[in-house]
Structure 1
Amino acid sequence: MTDTAWSIPDIDAVRDALVSWYESDHRTFPWRETDDPYAILVSEVMSQQTQLGRVVTAWEAFLDRWPTAADLADADRSAVVGFWTTHSLGYNNRAKYLHEAANQVVSEYDGAFPETPDELQNLQGVGPYTANAVASFAFNDGDAVVDTNVKRVLYRAFDVPDDDAAFEEAASELMPDGESRVWNNAVMELGGVACEKTPSCDTAGCPWREWCHAYETGDFTAPDVPTQPKFEGSRRQMRGRVVSILKEYDELPLSKLGPRVRIDYGGDYGEEWLRELCSDLADDGLVEVEEQDEWVARLRR
Structure 2
Amino acid sequence: MSDKSSTAERPGIVPEDPAAVQRALIEWYEADHRSFPWRETEDPYEILVSEVMSQQTQLDRVVDAWEDFLDRWPTAADLAAADRADVVGFWTSHSLGYNNRAKYLHEAARQVRDDFDGAWPRDPDGLSDLMGVGPYTANAVASFAFNNGDAVVDTNVKRVLYRAFDVPDDDDAFETVASALMPDGESRVWNNAIMELGGVACGKTPDCDGAACPWREWCSAYETGDFTAPDVPTQPTFEGSRRQFRGRIVRLLGDHDGMDLDTLGHRIRVDYTPDGEHGREWLRDLLSDLADDGLVKIEEDDGQITARLR
Pair in the same fold by TM > 0.5: yes
Render the CA deviation track for 1:188-243: whole Å, top value 9, x for unaligned: 00000110111111111110000001111111111100011111111101000000
Q: Supply the distance in 2 between the matched residues of 1:53 and 1:190 (Cα, whole angstroms).
A: 17
**Do structure 1's residue 111 and structure 2's residue 118 form an aligned pair?**
yes
Report SS of the residue matched to 1:230: coil
Instruction: Give unpaired runs (5+ residues) of structure 1.
Output: none
The two structures, once aligned, show a CA RMSD in angstroms of 0.8
Q: Identify the match of residue 154 of structure 1 among 143, 155, 161.
A: 161
Q: Identify the match of residue 39 of structure 1 among 37, 46, 50.
A: 46
CA shift for structure 1 position 250: 1.9
Q: Supply the distance in 2 between the matched residues of 1:48 and 1:234 (Cα, whole angstroms).
A: 18
**What pairs with 1:240-279 in structure 2 (closer than 5 Å)?**
240-266=247-273, 267-279=276-288
Report SS of the residue matched to 2:306: strand
Report SS of the residue matched to 1:295: strand
**Do structure 1's residue 67 and structure 2's residue 74 form an aligned pair?**
yes
Render the CA deviation track for 1:49-85: whole Å, top value 9, x for unaligned: 0011110000000000000000000000000000000
Number of matched residues? 300
Q: Identify the match of residue 180 of structure 1 among 178, 183, 187.
A: 187
TM-score normalised over the length of structure 1? 0.98
Report SS of the residue matched to 1:182: helix
> Which one-letter code corresponds to 1:108 in the other structure?
D
Report SS of the residue matched to 1:279: helix
Identity %, equivalent residues: 75
Report SS of the residue matched to 1:176: coil
> Who is 2:298 aligned against?
289
> Who is 1:280 aligned against?
289
> Which one-letter code corresponds to 2:280 in the other structure?
E
> Who is 2:171 aligned against?
164
Q: Supply the distance in 2 between the matched residues of 1:238 and 1:255 (Cα, whole angstroms).
A: 15
CA shift for structure 1 position 2: 3.6
TM-score normalised over the length of structure 2? 0.95
> Who is 2:23 aligned against?
16
> Who is 1:227 aligned against?
234
Q: Supply the distance in 1 between the matched residues of 2:43 and 2:269 (Cα, whole angstroms).
A: 41
